[in-house]
Amino acid sequence: MSMTEPQWDGLVVGAHLATLDGAAGYGEITDGALGWHDGRITHVGRRADLPASPERLAREVIQADGWITPGLIDCHTHLVFAGDRAREFELRLQGASYEEIARAGGGIASTVKATREADEDELLRQSLPRAQALVASGATTLEIKSGYGLDLDNERKMLRVARRIGERLGVTVRTTYLAAHALPTEFAGNSDGYINAAVQWLPQLHSEGLVDAVDAFCEGIGFTPGQTRRMFEAARALGVPVKLHADQLSDLGGGALAAAFDGLSADHVEHTSVDSVRAMAGHGTVAVLLPGAFHVLRETKLPPLDAFREHGVAMAVATDCNPGTSPLLSMRQAMQLASTHFRLTPEEALRGATTHAARALGFNDRGALRVGARADFVCWNLRHPSELCYWLGGQLTHGVFAGGRQVA
């Protein structure tokens, strides 16, 4: 490297690094140095081991303290929608049942109605602040699902808004086609007919560059394993990876079904059986834990956490940001809830929000601080990474970087 002209775009020095570059531990480097160029990490190590003075190495040098971690990855969200369901939350607390709320026009049908009525710009206007909140909490990669349109035009609209959010905020957005989320009123009593239609929409949306993965809600109040399989077969024909809302309310073998299609992830998984856990382990399917929904719904059935650990199934953590069951706008709060409800250690929660979340989206270029990885990282005002799961609320970030650019 020539020392006459700085070769890196940026360099942060002074903070401790939690590299997560290894099978266990935080991968701590004290008094660290993190360099990047063209959106990729070029140096990870101690400041004392830099080959030259920082000013000779990088065009921008940032003096920092606290800790730096990989950027957080929210691998399961439904953040594109119109309206809200705060009133339903209040009604549930007053004793109203889900069925009573639905009969009064609430539930997912109300979100579908509001989302269909909003044009694309209005949908972006309402959804963007939610994404901004997640980025401010340290997220540099977001997964965003469709599933509140439930017809071709409105599913397309949702996916287009998701793409625009990534462009607007300068972060990576992975789009997931979730038409198999609920049955729209125009297909009442005809779930097979609806799945046929949703399967037909998929190739067109994929050809428009709007689909990175396919998901389904496989549940008694959603779609059957057989209907889910049809959707996944259509995805496989296009070479599109799959994910699954699996075993949230009952054990329909969702974890094993996702694994049978080499699924990236099975999400929720509170009722997943040990047989499904073994299948997930055999196919590298990540278990995505969603403690926000567990918390809001006041669930008591824990995911099979010990079985996941025993069989080596990676556990990711995500917000499940949605208007009905997880109005959660902070990845750090998701990590805190995962520690509190699921008793993940702070290290497990951090890996779940970075390394394992990257796997749940099919990425191998992020989730750890290593040379060659995407320069997604967060500067935190911390004395130890365990504080990420310790504090309830508060603003701990003082710099969120995606591809080497500060985005929050």
Binding residues for Zn(2+): 76, 78, 245, 320
Feature table: binding site for N-formimidoyl-L-glutamate: 148, 322, 324
What are the C-alpha distances in Å from 182 to residues 42, 99, 146, 188, 215?
45, 15, 11, 10, 12
Q: What is the CA radius of gyration of the chain?
A: 21
Binding residues: 76, 78, 85, 148, 181, 245, 248, 320, 322, 324-325
Q: Is residue 277 a contact partner of residue 314, using CB atoms and an 8 Å limit?
A: no
Q: What distance in Å separates the CA atoms of residue 245 and residue 268, rounded to the nearest whole number?
A: 6
**Helix, strand, coil in percent for the chain, rounding step 5:** 40, 25, 40
Positions at the binding site for 4-imidazolone-5-propanoate: 85, 148, 181, 248, 325
Residue 102, exposed/middle/buried by CB under 10 A (0-12, 13-18, 19+)?
Answer: middle
Report the SS3 class of residue 289: strand
276, 281, 286, 279: which is closest to 362 by C-alpha? Answer: 286
Residue 371 contacts residue 41 (beta carbons within 8 Å): yes
The values of phi and psi at residue 351, to 5°, are -65, -35
Q: How long, in residues, is the chain? A: 408
**Secondary element (H or E) of residue 309:** helix 305-311
Q: Give the separation between CA 93 and CA 305, rounded to whole angstroms.
A: 29
CB 64 within 8 A of CB 394: no
**What are the angstrom distances between the C-alpha of 265 and each of 22, 162, 197, 293, 327?**
22, 20, 25, 17, 22
Binding residues for Fe(3+) are 76, 78, 245, 320
- Is the CB of residue 82 less than 8 Å from the CB of residue 123? yes
Locus of tokens 């287009």: 160
* Angle, alpha carbons 20-24-25 (nearest 5°): 65
Residue 166 phi, psi (nearest 5) = -60, -40
